Amino acid sequence: MAPKGPGKKKKEVDWADEEHFSKERSMIYIEHTYECPIFQTKADECGSFLQQRIPERKFQLVRNRYGHQVPREGAFEIGFSQNARTSTHLLWSGLERGPPRRDKFPADYELLVPDVHRILKKFYPDKAVGVLDEDDGDEAREDM
């Protein structure tokens, strides 16, 4: 199989159009450089982790805007949006981090989960799972 890279084009899907749009599909946007294969591997790991960690949601990983974006040198940034029609929120930027290269990536993707839940709750409070309101947390402590 030929290696995937900046010259390899995948069929582009517009997830915001009527045919493909779903409120249940969250978008993970990752900008990563092609200077080393580990950047692509880490992008895949991030998408897989969030799908396993939050199985009640569907996630769509979009890398470098399907090749339309020329990634910045040393870039590894993770953006998230509740769905394809909502704004993108930056979860992680490794642009100013490193060397060493390992500092460009989150040490543990679990650190991103609270921000993901916060974004999900912002748009669809009834759909968010695993996030307590500050008021809910106070009530829960008083009951103990």
CA distances from 61 to 80, 99, 132, 141, 144 (A): 10, 26, 27, 38, 41
Least confident of 75-84, 88-97, 121-130: 121-130
Q: Rounded to whole angstroms, how far apart are CA atoms 138 and 128? A: 19
Over residues 14-58, the pLDDT tens digits come to: 777 777 788 888 999 999 999 899 999 999 999 999 999 999 999
Asked: is 25-143 a CATH 3.40.30.10 domain? The reply is: yes
Please report the DSSP string for 107-135 in residue order: S-GGGGHHHHHHHHHHH-TTT--S---HH
β-pairing verdict for 25-32 and 89-93: unpaired
β-pairing verdict for 76-81 and 58-63: unpaired
Contact 88, 29 (CB under 8 A): yes
User: Is pLDDT above 60 for 7?
Assistant: no
* Amino acid letter for position 80: F
Q: Rounded to whole angstroms, how far apart are CA atoms 119 and 129? A: 11
The predicted structure's pLDDT at residue 142 = 39
User: Is pLDDT above 60 for 60?
Assistant: yes
* Amino acid letter for position 13: V
Q: Which residue has the tokens 């899907």?
A: 13
The answer to whether the pTM exceeds 0.85 is no
Domain ranges of the chain: 25-143
In this predicted model, which residue has the larger pLDDT, 13 or 72?
Answer: 72
The predicted structure's pLDDT at residue 131 = 46
Provide the CA 11 distance to its chain's centre, in angstroms.
20
The predicted structure's pLDDT at residue 31 = 95
